[in-house]
Structures are given as C-alpha cells and as structure tokens.
Structure 1
Amino acid sequence: MSVNKTGTKTLAQNRKARHDYHIEDVYEAGIALTGTEIKSLRAGRVQLKDSFARIENGEVMLHNVHISPYEQGNRYNHEPERTRKLLLRRLEILKLIGLTREKGYSLVPLSIYLKGGWAKVELALARGKKNYDKREDLKKKDAARDIQRALRERQKA
C-alpha cells in the first residue's frame, strides 16, 4: 500500500496489465461493496491478478477480483471472488459499450485505491499486445536502464 500526494491510498495494482495490453484510455469507477468487503479492502487484502471487467445488461461488472474474507466477519462474511458492480456515469458506460464491441478491446482494472474514504478502481480500455510487442518493450526498458546506469557512473567519476 502506498499513499500518493493527492491523498489516494493504493491498495493493489495489476502489474501485468501494462505488460500484456496497450492502454488506450483510463476511467475511474467506484465499486459496490458490502461491509465486510470494504473492511478487508482497507486492510489491503485484495488481489487483481487475472481480473477483468465486462458489460452486462448495461452495467459494468468486475470479475475475478479476490478480496479475502474479513477475519472478524463471522457468518456475514462475503464470497471472495464474487462479481462486483462498477459505478460509472451512463455516458461513460455507453461509450465503453461502443468501444468494447470493436475487435480486440478489453476492460482491464489497473489498480484499486481509496480516495476520500471511497474505494475506486482505475479501469483501462486496452488492446492486447502481441508477443513481439512485449519483447520490444522489454528491449526498450533494458536500454533505458543501461543508459541510466552509464549516466550515474559518469557522474560519480
């Protein structure tokens, strides 16, 4: 968990999303949660691995997000991987419906964070990368790292 300058507290990030997808556009959405889910989320017990969003019946639903059961939740605890509704404006949903019908677009959650006490999801409209794109990105990253290393060594001398 980390706290940004803007007062948001990042609870979980989907690190593989930026590796596996070209991010076209990013949206901020609220999440409809139960009481034990928000308590577990505030404790940082959330995982975004293999999660995705899908539009169903005019609503955006979040799938495969694992929020661990709250330890003091007794019989009122929630199911860890239930489908959760995302809260977006109607015009944003209509825009996403049109864009996701295009070939290759997906809705991928990038991070979950707290903003002003409310749980939010950073949702990306993304297009899948090919293997050669992933290799090219890794080469660029390695080259940038080598350049930074060379500059640091030059400054020390």
Structure 2
Amino acid sequence: MRHYVKTAAAVALTFGLVVAMARVSGFLLLPLALVLILGLGYVGSQILAGSPSPYPRIASGVFERTESEPIQLSETEACESCTDQEGPGQRRITYRELVFLGVPLARLSTTQVILCDLCADPVAALEDEKLDAIDRELERDR
C-alpha cells in the first residue's frame, strides 16, 4: 500500500509540474495534456480489459522479469558458464521494463543467457544422485 501512495504522489506531482509549465508557456498545454490523457487511457484500458500481466496491479517503476525455456545444448548453443555442449539446458531471457499500475509501458533492455541444468540450478543437481556435480565434472575431463 505504501508503494501505491508513493506512485500516486509522483503522478500528482508530475501532473502539477506539467500544468505549471503549460501556464508559463501556453503552447505546451495541449500536447502535454493529450499525451497524459492518452497514456492514462491506455493504462486504464489494459486494466479494464483484464489482459494478463506478469506484474501485480499496484506495481509501478522499473522491474525485471525472467522467462525460461528448456533447450538441448549444442555447439551453437553452449552453456555460457561451463561451456558444456551436450545435454539438456535452459535459455533464460530477462526483460527490464518500465511498468505503471501493472501495465508494461516500455521494454528497456533484454538479455539472454544459455545455461546447462547443472549451472542453472547447482543445488538441485547436487541433491539428485544421478547428476552429481563431481561425477559430471569428471565425465567432462575424460
């Protein structure tokens, strides 16, 4: 709730600054008001449409989210951590986005990482007796 109050205060302050700028230079009032109304209309339509969002409805600011998909490692898609070229792996794509009220407005950056299952989750690999980290490292050296 505290984050929501900060966001509402920031929006009100921004709107107040826009109105003050428009009073000083009258020609900015119409374009700025139009952009503000269209932006809030877009966010409102996304909220009312109920389109699925990876963020909670009160989220505002810059957020990161990661998607992961299973892949089979190969020479072209090797693990970036240990350079393993065989076996199952994961492609992790991290998006850094500007979010307002749970609606992603702009994607700021995208990064992609390819990892083998051992590097992606070493604790789970150690708990699995078939995929012990020491045994796997010995197999690589052979």
**TM-score, L = length of structure 1:** 0.21
Larger Rg: 2
More helix by share: 2
More strand by share: 1
